[in-house]
């Protein structure tokens, strides 16, 4: 099939030649066998995909930024600020992501996945320990919230957050309206605010973990 194409000078033959130069399987003309065009093409595709993966892995090793926004090699799908600030804080990035996705260690989420009998908060017995309860309400994290508000105040955004009536979970989980507002009015402080938010997430998740261990 290849030879036939080559003789007639078809484009597909040119593709094969180009790839054979790039690939060079120990000098073997790996495509010059009795294989159908489809078989060879699928090989080329697999190889191209492999090359692409390798290139991406090398280029973005230093940062999680691209890596976390890649969707099956189709390109960047989303670039929320919680991903690109402090890319070394992978644990907090993951915690935020899981809280946003509703796939996390709250009783509500665990109960949905049949990992927990009840949806109750183990600390205060509120009927649902979901993301909202964890971030906005549960008394266990009261001082962490106070700390976060202090941090927001130090960065000059607390007043705006109150004026805009953002709830704490909207700030901490990077709700779209919060992100837009930050970009418009406090773009220069976003990095510092992000740092405060990730400190908060770190403290809350650690405390939650410790508390859960105590209950067991």
Please state the closest distance from residue 111 (CB atom) to Zn ion, in A. 14
Interface residue with Zn ion, options 16, 83, 96, 138 (CB under 5 A): 138
Answer whether 146's CB lies under 8 Å from 199's CB: no
Give the binding-site size for Zn ion (rule: CB under 5 A).
Answer: 5
Q: What is the largest CA-CA distance in the chain?
A: 79
Q: Please, what's the b/e burial string for 19-46 (b: 16 or more CB within 10 A of its CB; e: otherwise)?
A: bbeeeeeeeeebbeeeeeeeebbeebee
Please state the closest distance from residue 133 (CB atom) to Zn ion, in A. 6
Nearer to Zn ion, 137 or 194 (CB): 137
What is the SS3 assignment for 25?
A: strand
Separation CA 47–CA 101 (nearest Å):
34
Please state the closest distance from residue 142 (CB atom) to Zn ion, in A. 10
Region from 13-21, 41-49, 66-74, 116-124 binding Zn ion, contact rule CB under 5 A: 116-124
Interface residue with Zn ion, options 28, 124, 150, 162 (CB under 5 A): 124
Nearer to Zn ion, 123 or 145 (CB): 123
Q: Please, what's the b/e burial string for 118-141 (b: 16 or more CB within 10 A of its CB; e: otherwise)?
A: ebbbbbeebeebbbbbbbebbebb
Nearer to Zn ion, 95 or 194 (CB): 95
Region from 8-16, 125-133, 146-154, 179-187 binding Zn ion, contact rule CB under 5 A: 125-133
Please state the closest distance from residue 123 (CB atom) to Zn ion, in A. 5
| Token digits of residue 82 | 């919680």
Nearer to Zn ion, 123 or 169 (CB): 123
Separation CA 104–CA 101 (nearest Å):
8
Nearer to Zn ion, 141 or 178 (CB): 141
Interface residue with Zn ion, options 68, 93, 123, 130 (CB under 5 A): 123
Please state the closest distance from residue 140 (CB atom) to Zn ion, in A. 6
Interface residue with Zn ion, options 121, 168, 173, 182 (CB under 5 A): 121
Separation CA 27–CA 40 (nearest Å):
17
Separation CA 31–CA 78 (nearest Å):
38
Asked if 96 is part of the footprint of Zn ion (rule: CB under 5 A), the reply reads no
Query: What's the Rg (C-alpha) of the chain?
Result: 26
Binding site for Zn ion (CB under 5 A): 121, 123-124, 126, 138
């Amino acid at each position: 099939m290849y030879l036939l194409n080559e003789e007639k000078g078809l484009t597909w033959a040119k593709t094969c030649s180009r790839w054979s130069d790039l690939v060079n399987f120990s000098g073997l003309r790996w495509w010059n066998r009795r294989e159908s065009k489809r078989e060879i093409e699928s090989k080329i595709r697999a190889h191209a995909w492999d090359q692409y993966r390798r290139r991406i892995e090398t280029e973005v090793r230093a940062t999680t930024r691209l890596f976390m926004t890649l969707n099956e090699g189709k390109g960047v799908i989303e670039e929320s600020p919680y991903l690109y600030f402090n890319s070394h804080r992978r644990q907090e990035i993951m915690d935020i992501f899981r809280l946003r996705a509703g796939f996390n260690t709250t009783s509500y989420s665990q109960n949905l996945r049949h990992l927990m009998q009840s949806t109750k908060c183990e600390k205060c017995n509120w009927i649902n320990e979901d993301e909202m309860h964890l971030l906005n309400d549960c008394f266990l994290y009261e001082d962490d919230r106070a700390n976060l508000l202090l941090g927001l105040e130090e960065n000059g955004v607390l007043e705006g957050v109150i004026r805009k009536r953002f709830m704490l979970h909207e700030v901490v989980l990077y709700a779209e309206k919060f992100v837009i507002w930050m970009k418009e009015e406090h773009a220069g402080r976003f990095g510092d605010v992000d740092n405060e938010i990730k400190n908060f997430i770190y403290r809350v998740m650690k405390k939650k973990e410790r508390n859960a261990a105590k209950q067991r």
